[in-house]
């Protein structure tokens, strides 16, 4: 039996140099508090789909009926590149039986509901990152949370209980 549950995590929360601006964004609470009891599987949708560090920032844009991920200066639509990578990555993650995921807030790839979303007459911080959205649709029963929400000990305990419950059920 895998002794610690496997939990996916946005790589930058572990302090990996993968962010668009080349700056480190370690989340010590997530890395060290959760890391006592789970093993992390780091995932960075943007670098793993071939984007460099540093890179041009991107946001989500509502265009017609779909949400696109577009670079802010050169206006390149990266949605297709990301969606192709997501399909392969979700298949890979289903093989290793992860028990939950911790996402980076405010990212057009990783946020659960806090990315900037440009619509025709509005700009709101309620966008679902393309990877996070696809992950949640593919694995609806797995616990998921944005990293900074896990700074709240009650929320963290609740997340961990769900992770351990799935882990135990898998290896019963």
Indicate whether 18 belongs to the interface with ligand SF4 (CB under 6 A): yes
Least Å distance, CB 146 to ligand SF4, is 10
Under the criterion CB under 6 A, does residue 89 sit at the interface with ligand SF4?
no
Name the minimum Å distance from CB 149 to ligand SF4: 15
The answer to whether residue 49 forms part of the interface with ligand SF4 (CB under 6 A) is: no
Q: Does 110 bind ligand SF4 (CB under 6 A)?
A: yes
Q: Rule CB under 6 A: is residue 12 a binding residue for ligand SF4?
A: yes
Neighbour count for residue 113 (Cβ, 10 Å) = 15
Neighbouring residues of 48: CB distance < 8 A, sequence distance ≥ 6: 85, 89
Q: Concatenated DSSP letters for 75-132? A: --B-HHHHHHHHHHHHHHHHHHT---EEE-TT-TTT-SS-EEEEETTEEEEEEPPHHH
**Binding mask of the shown chain, residues 145 to 164, with x at each position contacting ligand SF4 by CB under 6 A:** --------------------
Q: Does 116 bind ligand SF4 (CB under 6 A)?
A: no
φ and ψ at residue 142, rounded to 5 degrees: -85, 140
The nearest distance, CB 13 to ligand SF4, in angstroms, is: 7
Q: What is the largest CA-CA distance in the chain?
A: 52
Write out the residues near ligand SF4 by the rule CB under 6 A: 10-12, 18-19, 44-46, 104, 107, 109-110
């Amino acid at each position: 039996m895998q002794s610690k549950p496997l939990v996916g995590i946005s790589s930058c929360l572990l302090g990996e140099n993968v962010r668009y601006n080349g700056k480190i964004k370690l989340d010590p609470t997530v890395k060290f508090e959760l890391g006592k009891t789970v093993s992390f599987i780091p995932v960075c949708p943007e670098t793993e789909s071939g984007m460099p560090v540093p890179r041009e920032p991107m946001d989500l844009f509502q265009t017609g009926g779909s949400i696109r991920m577009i670079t802010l200066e050169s206006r390149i639509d990266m949605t297709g590149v990301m969606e192709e990578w997501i399909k392969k990555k979700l298949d890979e993650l289903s093989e290793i039986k992860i028990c939950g995921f911790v996402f980076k807030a405010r990212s057009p790839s990783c946020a659960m509901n806090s990315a900037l979303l440009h619509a025709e007459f509005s700009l709101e911080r309620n966008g679902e990152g393309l990877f996070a959205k696809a992950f949640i649709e593919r694995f609806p029963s797995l616990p998921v949370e944005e990293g900074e929400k896990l700074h709240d000990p009650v929320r963290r305990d609740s997340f961990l209980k769900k992770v351990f419950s799935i882990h135990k059920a898998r290896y019963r």
